Structure 1
Amino acid sequence: MANQINTIIFDLGGVLIDWNPLYVFNDLIPDAERRKEFFDNICTMHWNEQQDAGTPIAQATEERIALFPAWENEIRAYYGRWVEMLGDANHGTVEILKSLIDSPDYRVYALTNWSAETFPIAKSMERFQFLHWFEGILVSGEEFLLKPQPEIYEAILERYDIDRHKAVFIDDNYKNVVGSEAVGLKAIHFTTPEKLAEELRQLTVNI
């Protein structure tokens, strides 16, 4: 087949790695309403994404404290206890990754929204040694780009000479799936390893 898939690109957080700030903040802010205020108005997901796009963590932290001094302890904990927000690997997805890595038929890469400062920490951890299996990883914080911006998909395609018509991208965030498809890169919306395996097989990917 002319457009047979030969390259698989994985997102990391939510697909291969469990990450959840509540692992820290359920205990740090036990009151549910106060915790909701913190995530809705103080350290929001949009704020977190700015560090994934390259804003230095120290700068972002101090700026947030200047705006919300009463929340200083909680704001500092966001990155000060960041490692505790990492859960386990998604072992079902890691098994799929391993089967693709072991096959001579596929090239395997990763494209992740992740701070350039915290990603090396995860990569050095024993339970995430599969991060060393990829032929290449494009980290948003190193590129000053962010999914679903079209430029970040173009960047990984160009850097690793990937034919978008023979590749598929996997992400748990639907807006990133839409962003991928907008540049002509086929995408799978990840929900479970079992569903991912099924959808890859439908694309005639052997796992």
Structure 2
Amino acid sequence: MTIRAVVFDFGGVLFDWNPDYLYRKLISDDVERAWFLQHVCNGEWNLQQDGGRSIVDATASKIKEFPEHAELIRAFYERWPESLKGTLVEGIKLMEDLEHAQVPLYGLTNWSAETFPYAWDNYPFLRRFRDIVVSGRLGLIKPDAAIYHEMFRRIARDLPDLQPQELVFIDDNQANARAASALGWHGIHHTSAAATEAALRTLGVAF
């Protein structure tokens, strides 16, 4: 069956985001910094903001838990743009190659509703996606099936009679790619642009 659209995750595929970029400036000791990012401002905590929790509430709850690190905790979002290093060149090229081949492109990202506007304002290429589902705006996060259903619903408005097997989803998180596959999409676990390109070509995507 023909692939009618490709859906991109953003972080790790198109964007180079890592809080370590910020905290290298704030915590010089590698062991101390690793401990802080594992136990204080860690991925599980950040994911709750991607799921819709406000930055104010997230910061307050974490400071209550670790009051001795209050200044460092506040920095996570006060200086959030410093954790976004920029785009991943090979990922952007893959996106642009698909765009030039007139493959409809969509975005499905776990991202806080409060920090996504920074990316939107500073990275104009995002406007080239036909639609973007931002988890924090919905209060849903991957790999919850509900967020994929919302993405499908939006794409189906553009592409009548859309079938799940006509979609490809690219994500650097294997669990998220598998969740798409479980719904009948073609989930690609993104480990490199070259590997993803090869997987797309195997699926018959011509670009």
TM-score (norm 2): 0.94
After superposition, residues 186-205 of structure 1 pair within 5 angstroms as 186-205=186-205
Deviates further, 132-141 or 191-200: 191-200
Render the CA deviation track for 1:88-127: whole Å, top value 9, x for unaligned: 21122212211222333x22101000000100101111xx
Mapped pair 1:155 → 2:150? yes
Aligned equivalents of 1:116 and 1:95: distance in 2?
26
Render the CA deviation track for 1:100-156: whole Å, top value 9, x for unaligned: 22333x22101000000100101111xx22111000000000010000111111110
**Does the 8 Å CA contact 1:23/1:85 hold for their aligned counterparts?**
yes
Render the CA deviation track for 1:7-57: whole Å, top value 9, x for unaligned: 100000100010011111122111222222212221110000000000000
The count of residues paired between Structure 1 and Structure 2 equals: 202
Aligned equivalents of 2:176 and 2:76: distance in 1?
24
**Does the 8 Å CA contact 1:54/1:142 hold for their aligned counterparts?**
yes
Aligned equivalents of 2:163 and 2:114: distance in 1?
30
TM-score (norm 1): 0.94
Q: Provide the secondary structure at the position in 2 that maps to 1:5.
A: coil
Aligned residue in 2 for 1:21? 19
Q: State the Cα RMSD in Å.
A: 1.2
- In structure 2, runs of 5+ residues without a counterpart are 157-161
Mapped pair 1:146 → 2:144? no
2:46 counterpart letter in structure 1: N
Cα shift at 1:202: 0.9
1:24 counterpart letter in structure 2: L
**Does the 8 Å CA contact 1:8/1:107 hold for their aligned counterparts?**
yes
1:108 counterpart letter in structure 2: L
After superposition, residues 1-207 of structure 1 pair within 5 angstroms as 3-104=1-102, 106-125=103-122, 128-161=123-156, 162-207=162-207
Cα shift at 1:199: 1.2
Aligned equivalents of 1:37 and 1:91: distance in 2?
30
What percent identity do the matched residue pairs reach?
40
